[in-house]
Structure 1
């Protein structure tokens, strides 16, 4: 079974939602037969690339609230994060353009390091004092921490077309599936779960999706055909 998760590194509920989903998946009976793929979604592509913007003043302007109220909103998210064992900085944190992060996540997927990189990026953005939006060398540092080669990460960042089409394709697909926000979880292209749901909700969704997988229909030919099995490949019979 495949689970696709549309997220953005700027999204605190994606950070919390992934932790909740991971807990549900860890206790899922068929965990070893579930493939998790992270898909791209940009909350605000208009952010300038390579520089961070302080999150508290941004929230205050965006929602027409005071900065004190924005801090309180951040603290409520921090409480949710703490309940999942996550660190979360409520002040002094930045947001920024995440397009290059998404491109690196596509690179990481090719090396089987996508889950590791998204965890590193989340931690850098939400828990660490140093901004995750300091430019290419900061992203290279984070990519290396996730197990990618520095030169390969630099090569991707130096070429703005590398994986750009893949990121855009993910974003178009999210729109086609009806995702208007993130996190957005799609289980076997049959079930959708929106938002950072409780662990139990993810557990139920996994069980329901697994139970309703389409069974494989085997079409037999007019006679048995050669095939390989657990005992190897039998030589063709002589006429």
Structure 2
């Protein structure tokens, strides 16, 4: 059975949701029979390449909050990440266009290294002092994931390389009704949206495996196409 996950490296709930999904998958009896495929979804597709800015300031603009309130929102997300054993920096992170990252992830998929590169990119973006919007950082991550440096550089240098694959994923997301990420599609029949608890993913996998007509889901935090992520206000 195949599970497809639409996500963006700039989305904190995708980062958290991946960890929760993997915990849910680990508790699923037929986990060895599950193929996981990661699909592209850009949160800020119209942002110019190279146009980056601080995440906290972006959150303040999107939600009409003060910078201090936005910092509190980030800290709440950080607490959710840390509860899953993930590193999360609340200061010093940038937001920008992720198209090149998605193109490299498609190369990595062709070379059997997609999950490795995705994990490294998430860690660099959310937990480390490395900007995934720097081409040299992307090359270093690609090499660390096991890709050939020359091939990775060639992909970044050719703006058409894997561009159609990224756009195809995004069109498919729209056709499936995905308007926020992370978005999980199980066996091309069932959808689960947002950074659900691990047990919800286990239940969804069990229902999909048994061929039920639908999977019950609950509302969960996600990131929308405008680059904003549903995060609780401080004290919520």
TM over 0.5: yes
Measured against the shorter chain, the TM-score band is 0.7 to 0.9
Shift of 1:51: 4.6
* Counterparts of 2:112 and 2:12, CA distance in 1: 24
Match of 1:90 in 2: 90
Is the Cα contact below 8 Å between 1:7 and 1:41 reproduced in 2?
yes
Is the Cα contact below 8 Å between 2:105 and 2:117 reproduced in 1?
yes
Match of 1:34 in 2: 34
* Counterparts of 1:119 and 1:51, CA distance in 2: 24
1:48-197 equivalent positions in 2, closer than 5 A: 48-134=48-134, 136-197=135-196
Q: Which has the higher contact order (CA 8 A, sep 6+)?
A: 2
Shift of 1:157: 0.5
Is the Cα contact below 8 Å between 1:52 and 1:131 reproduced in 2?
no
Shift of 1:138: 1.5
* Counterparts of 2:177 and 2:160, CA distance in 1: 27
Is the Cα contact below 8 Å between 2:54 and 2:94 reproduced in 1?
yes
Shift of 1:46: 2.2
* Counterparts of 2:105 and 2:132, CA distance in 1: 15
Is the Cα contact below 8 Å between 2:130 and 2:137 reproduced in 1?
no
Shift of 1:132: 1.6
* Number of corresponding residues: 213
Is the Cα contact below 8 Å between 2:117 and 2:142 reproduced in 1?
yes
* TM-score (norm: length of structure 1): 0.87
Shift of 1:48: 2.4
Shift of 1:52: 2.7
Runs of at least 5 residues in structure 1 that lack an aligned partner in the other structure:
215-239
Is the Cα contact below 8 Å between 1:21 and 1:199 reproduced in 2?
yes
Shift of 1:50: 3.1
Is the Cα contact below 8 Å between 1:51 and 1:133 reproduced in 2?
no
Q: Which string of whole-angstrom CA distances, capped at 9 and with x for unpartnered residues, describes residues 80-128 of structure 1?
A: 0011000000111111110000001100111111111110110011001
* Counterparts of 2:25 and 2:51, CA distance in 1: 35
* TM-score (norm: length of structure 2): 0.88
Give secondary structure in 1 for the equivalent of 2:188.
coil
* Counterparts of 1:83 and 1:152, CA distance in 2: 37
* Counterparts of 2:98 and 2:83, CA distance in 1: 26
* Counterparts of 2:148 and 2:29, CA distance in 1: 34
CA-atom RMSD in angstroms: 1.2
Is the Cα contact below 8 Å between 1:39 and 1:170 reproduced in 2?
yes
Runs of at least 5 residues in structure 2 that lack an aligned partner in the other structure:
214-236
